[in-house]
């Protein structure tokens, strides 16, 4: 599953076009030793909440239709409905905080491979092209977690087509991935990732602009203690 695309679906299609400030997107995966786990995806616009609240009172801004709270909630509900029909996915939940402008969607999986194509398919329903390919695997025998990421060249091309004022909304935007495990981590392949004090969580932060421009690769192979 290309988890980051969930944020592009919600943020770019409905909220980001009317912003001029930074936003944060967070992907959290909790892996258990038996291969099952949980996912939580968050888009956080709280740093811009005053501006967002003001703009959402308008019909349109800079040629963009301003979405209603009902429209945003409808899209979240549709994404949740799709997840509930997906193989190996259970316990789907969404939250939407329209005071701080934070939206989340969470669910559980039987095997991490269950999440590999979900968001790609959700995007296809919205006629949105993926900006990267991303897949996840977990080997229970070797206790190795893999996240493979490959940027799609067209992402930068599409970004370059944007007007300067629209490009500006990505300045300061951050993407964070957090992977949690039951067993201690012994090694990570991505030098940009950071290991928690407990050695049971790995975090990687990247600017959205670096992802768009292909300046950072968020692929990671994480080895757990056996």
Q: Do 224 and 183 touch, CB atoms closer than 8 A?
A: yes
Instruction: Summarize pLDDT for 70-117 with one digit per residue, the tens.
Output: 877 887 888 888 889 888 999 999 998 888 888 888 999 999 988 886
Q: Do 121 and 129 touch, CB atoms closer than 8 A?
A: no
Question: Number of C-alpha atoms within 13 angstroms, CB side, residue 17?
Answer: 16
pLDDT 10s digit of each residue in the chain, 226 long? 344 444 444 444 444 444 445 678 888 999 999 999 999 988 888 777 777 677 667 676 666 666 777 877 887 888 888 889 888 999 999 998 888 888 888 999 999 988 886 655 655 555 444 455 678 999 999 999 999 887 666 667 777 777 776 677 677 788 899 999 999 999 999 999 999 999 999 999 998 888 878 888 899 999 999 8
CA dist 95 and 69 (Å) reads 13
Q: Do 114 and 87 touch, CB atoms closer than 8 A?
A: yes
Task: Give helix 69-84 / helix 118-125 axis angle, nearest 10°.
Answer: 130
Instruction: Decide: helix, strand or coil at residue 65.
Output: strand
Q: What is the value of pTM for the model shown?
A: 0.83
Instruction: Decide: helix, strand or coil at residue 186.
Output: strand
Which structure tokens are listed for 201?
Answer: 């969580």
The side-by-side arrangement of strands in the sheet containing 102-109 is: 89-97, 102-109, 37-44, 24-31, 174-181, 201-207, 194-195
What's the full length of the chain, in residues?
226
What does DSSP assign to residue 70?
Answer: H
CA dist 7 and 93 (Å) reads 16
Phi, psi at residue 99, to the nearest 5°? -90, -40
Q: Do 4 and 11 touch, CB atoms closer than 8 A?
A: no
Q: Which residue has the tokens 């740093």?
A: 47
Question: Number of C-alpha atoms within 13 angstroms, CB side, residue 47?
Answer: 14
């Amino acid at each position: 599953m290309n988890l980051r695309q969930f944020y592009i679906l919600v943020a770019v299609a409905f909220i980001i076009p009317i912003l001029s400030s930074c936003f944060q997107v967070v992907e959290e995966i909790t892996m258990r030793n038996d291969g099952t786990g949980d996912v939580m995806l968050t888009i956080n616009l709280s740093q811009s909440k005053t501006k967002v609240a003001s703009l959402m009172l308008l019909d349109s801004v800079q040629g963009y239709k301003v979405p209603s709270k009902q429209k945003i909630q409808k899209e979240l509900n549709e994404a949740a409905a799709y997840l509930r029909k997906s193989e190996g996915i259970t316990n789907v939940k969404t939250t939407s905080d329209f005071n701080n402008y934070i939206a989340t969607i969470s669910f559980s999986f039987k095997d991490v491979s269950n999440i590999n194509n979900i968001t790609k398919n959700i995007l296809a329903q919205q006629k949105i092209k993926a900006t990267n390919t991303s897949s996840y695997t977990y080997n229970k025998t070797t206790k190795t977690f893999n996240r493979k990421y490959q940027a799609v060249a067209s992402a930068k091309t599409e970004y370059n087509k944007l007007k300067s004022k629209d490009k500006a909304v990505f300045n300061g935007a951050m993407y964070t991935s957090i992977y949690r495990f039951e067993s201690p981590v012994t090694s990570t392949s991505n030098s940009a990732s950071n290991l928690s004090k407990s050695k049971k969580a790995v975090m990687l932060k990247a600017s959205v602009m670096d992802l768009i421009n292909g300046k950072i690769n968020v692929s990671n192979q994480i080895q757990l203690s056996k």
